[in-house]
Amino acid sequence: MPLYLNELAPWERKNEYYHTIQLGKDVNEQTLVIKKQAKAMLASQLATTNSIIASKERISEGIDSLVDSVDRLERVGQSIDDLQSTFEWGISEVVWQLEQNRTVLKNILEVLMSPLDNQARERRIRAKEAYDNGWLDDAEEEYLESEKLNKFDFSIHISLGIIYLFKKIDKEKALSYFEKAIKYAKPKSPDMTRDALLYKALIKFDFGEIEEAEKFSSDAITLSPNSLKAYYQNAQYNAQLKNHIKSIDNLEKIIKQDKLYCLKAHEDTLFDPIREYVNNLFKKLKEEEKTKAIKTYDNIIIKNKKMDLFFEKYSTKINISRVVNNSQQINRDIIELKKRLDRNSLFDFIEINNIYLPALINKCANLYQSVENEIKEIIYNAKLAIGNTEYKRKKAENEHLSNIEEYLGKTGGFILIASFIVPAVTTLLVTDGWEKLSTILFCIPIISQISSLVLLEQFIFNFSGLSKDSDGIVIAWSIVIYLITAIILFVISKSISKAKMNRTIIKTNIDLGDAKKIINNANSILNEFENLLKQ
């Protein structure tokens, strides 16, 4: 491998997509430009990748359909780490400009600057302003003066390291400043220490000290085990050392977290010494994702067929029409998913497993839940109907008892009133002369009832002793007749009320039977459905 002592290495130069990215713009504008150019670079990488990584159909869908990756690029303004596979050393100056404006780093630097006097603060502020505007000679001067006033500010050393590496092309001096940054950043910021270590590893690699470069990138991983760019850089150096096992292991880790590293590694010439292993990794990952996708797809197909049979079997017995449309949509999604499976590429399988299958599983889950809710609603309504029916039956029974009490009261009232009127009127009609005065006896409470009872007693027990032509027997007959009439009216009213109650009870018994039958059928269907879900 050629050495790059006094010039930028190919991997340190700006690629054609990032040539417009340079200092002199504000942070928001820089962020927008990086997002735009990163997407353009990804689109180009996707268009030229091999069929193992992405099928023709997948390539034609473009970068915007890489939902997770595009969303991640939208967060670049919040965390520069979200560049991940789109990071290039050639834009380090601008990346550092963005990094210094992150809240986390600004808070750390504020603590470092708090004990400084106004002169030191002014120097530091002027240095950053010069750097942001691209006045790197002025920035160098101000940073060197700031270093004298506050040598513990690791950001000063990183800034000078970047200036000497990419602007002055003085890699020895850049290396010395990154070493200082490592020393002073370590107690304050693992992320900044990691970045300084990666810059140091980069320079060591330029000098041909690949083992040293590999060591420092490993140290960066230890400090920041979630840093994909640290793993990728370490994989590059191990590839150059032909340590294919460690290189492929690291590459596999990062591709599983960000599939776009496939595009980067596919074009990266630093992996050429182990290119066969890299291609085999792509094939291996594709087969793993394929196996996972097909297994899940087959399970969905089997369950969906059983569900279709279930819907067909019970569509006439219970109302599940509301879920039929969703079931048909799922069948259409399954057809589209099969087309994606047939594309047979790593990206297609990753997206099937991470996007399309979860979406389909969620649709199926919603469908199954709606069916279960539909059946449970039928059971609930039937139980509600049973409650209402039992209430109606109880109400009819109570109304019948209430009617009997009412009829008894009315009958008693009728008898009481008639006990005055009937014998009095009869006495007036059948007696002559002074005997009519006996009518008064039937107008006086208690005496009237006693007189009626006496006549009834004679009528019942001494009927033969009464003259058939006597006035007493006529009055007695009138009393008997109104009593019989009252009893007959009571019996008729009671019979009518009971008949009404019986009709209600018969109807409620039928309704109860129907409701219980519905519940039994629905419970049976629900059990069958739940067993299907468990399979």
Which tens digit of pLDDT belongs to each residue from 121-173? Answer: 788 888 888 888 888 999 999 989 888 888 888 999 999 999 999 899 999 99
SS3 209: coil
**Is residue 13 exposed (0-12), middle (13-18) or buried (19+ Cβ within 10 Å)?**
middle
DSSP per residue, 281-300: HHHHHHHHHHHHHHHHHHHH
408 and 508 belong to one structural domain: yes
Q: Are residues 411 and 446 in the same domain?
A: yes
What pLDDT is attached to residue 381? 84
Tokens representing 104?
């986390």
197-200-205 Cα angle (round to 5): 125
For residue 494, pLDDT beyond 80: no
Which one-letter amino acid corresponds to residue 359?
A
* Pairwise CA distance, residues 305 & 319, whole Å: 20
Pair 210, 237: CB distance under 8 Å: yes
Place of tokens 């200082």: 180
Q: Which of 65-74, 105-114, 378-387, 440-449 has the highest mean pLDDT?
A: 378-387
For the residues 271-279, what does the mean pLDDT come to?
A: 96
Kindly indicate the confidence band of residue 230, based on its pLDDT and cuts at 50, 70 and 90: very high
Average pLDDT over every residue of 207-212: 96
Task: Give residue 100's pLDDT band: very low, low, confident or very high (50, 70, 90).
Answer: confident
Q: How far apart are CA 508 and CA 386, in angstroms?
A: 9
Cβ-proximal residues to 90 (8 Å cutoff; 6+ apart), any chain: 12, 13, 14, 15, 18, 166
Burial of residue 465 (CB within 10 Å: 0-12, 13-18, 19+) is exposed
CB 45 within 8 A of CB 79: no
Higher pLDDT, 202 or 444: 202
Q: What is the CATH number of the domain that holds 194?
A: 1.25.40.10
| Residues 393 and 494 both lie in one domain | yes
DSSP H helices, 168-274, are: 171-185, 190-206, 210-223, 228-240, 244-257, 261-267
Which domain, by its residues, includes 195? 10-238
Domain identity same for 396 and 354: no
Do 71 and 204 have their domain in common?
yes
Of the candidates 99, 56, 103, the residue with the CA atom closest to the CA atom of residue 80 = 99
C-alpha R_g of the chain: 49
> Which residue, of 203, 238, 273, is where some domain finishes?
238
Identify the domain boundary among 183, 216, 238.
238
User: Quick one: 205 and 69 in the same domain?
Assistant: yes
d(CA 160, CA 131): 10
Residue 505: half-sphere exposure toward Cβ, Cα within 13 Å: 12
pLDDT tens per residue across span 459-484: 555 545 544 445 565 666 666 676 77
Q: What is the mean pLDDT of residues 78-96?
A: 68
CA distance 26 to 23: 8
Half-sphere exposure of 225 (CA within 13 A, CB side): 1
Residue 38: pLDDT band with limits 50, 70, 90: confident
Share of the chain above pLDDT 70, in %: 75
Q: Note whether residue 275 is domain-resident.
A: no
Residue of higher predicted confidence among 284 and 524: 284
Round the average pLDDT of the chain to a whole number and report it.
Answer: 80
Band (pLDDT 50/70/90 cuts) for residue 79 is: very low
50 and 189 belong to one structural domain: yes
Spatial distance between the Cα atoms of 429 and 273, rounded to a whole number of angstroms = 139
DSSP 420-480: HHHHHHHHHHH--GGGGGGGGGGGSTTHHHHHHHHHHHHHHHSGGGS-TTSHHHHHHHHHH
Indicate whether 381 belongs to any domain. no
Task: Reply yes or no on whether the pLDDT at 71 is more than 70.
Answer: no
40 vs 480, more confident: 40
Residues 103 and 182 in one domain: yes
**256 is a domain residue:** no
In a domain, 266, yes or no: no
- To the nearest 10°, report the CA torsion of 302, 305, 307, 313: -140
Q: Are residues 17 and 102 in the same domain?
A: yes
Rounded CA separation 456/430 (Å): 17
Task: Say whether both 327 and 290 belong to one domain.
Answer: yes
Q: Has residue 449 been placed in a domain?
A: yes
Per-residue CA distances from 1 to 11, 64, 206, 209, 270 (Å): 13, 37, 9, 11, 10
> CA-CA distance, 334 to 342, in Å (whole number)?
12
Average the pLDDT over 292-296 and give the result.
95
- Within this chain, do residues 57 and 206 fall inside the same structural domain, yes or no? yes
In the listed set 179, 203, 238, which residue is the last one of a domain according to the structure? Answer: 238
Residue 31: is its pLDDT beyond 70?
yes
In a domain, residue 5? The reply is no
Residue keyed to tokens 């002793």: 465
Q: What is the rounded distance in angstroms from the CA atom of residue 231 to the CA atom of residue 247? A: 9
Provide the pLDDT confidence category of residue 180 given band limits of 50, 70 and 90: very high
Is 106 within the bounds of a domain?
yes
pLDDT on residue 469: 46
208-212, 297-301, 360-364, 498-502: which is most confident? 208-212
Mean pLDDT of 69-77: 48
pLDDT single digits (tens) 431-455: 565 555 555 655 666 665 566 666 6
Distance CA 77, CA 98 (A): 8
Using alpha carbons, list the distances in angstroms from residue 499 to 373, 391, 398, 477: 41, 18, 14, 32
Q: How far is CA 218 from the centre of its chain?
A: 39
Q: What is the pLDDT of residue 262?
A: 92
CB 459 within 8 A of CB 476: yes
| Percentage of the chain modeled with pLDDT above 90 | 30
Number of domains in the chain: 3
- pLDDT computed for residue 237 by the predictor: 97
Residue 269 has pLDDT above 70, yes or no: yes
The pLDDT value recorded for residue 228 is 92
Residue 352 has pLDDT above 70, yes or no: yes
Task: State yes or no: pLDDT of 322 exceeds 90.
Answer: no
- Looking at per-residue pLDDT, the higher value among 277 and 510 belongs to 277
Query: Does 530 score more than 90 pLDDT?
Result: no
At which residue do the structure tokens 């009958």 appear?
411
Domain presence at residue 274: no
Q: Do 16 and 137 have their domain in common?
A: yes
* Burial class for 248, CB neighbours closer than 10 Å (0-12, 13-18, 19+): buried
Amino acid in the structure at residue 272: D
208 conformational bin, left if phi > 0, alpha if psi -120 to 50, beta if neither? left
Token pair for residue 477? 């007959």
CA distance to 72, 136, 423, 425, 499, per residue, from 410 (Å): 87, 114, 19, 21, 20
Q: Stretch 69-82: mean pLDDT, rounded?
A: 49
Taking the C-alpha atoms of residue 297 and residue 31, their distance in angstroms, rounded to an integer, is 40
The count of C-alpha atoms lying within 13 angstroms of the C-alpha of 348, restricted to the half-sphere facing its C-beta, is 25
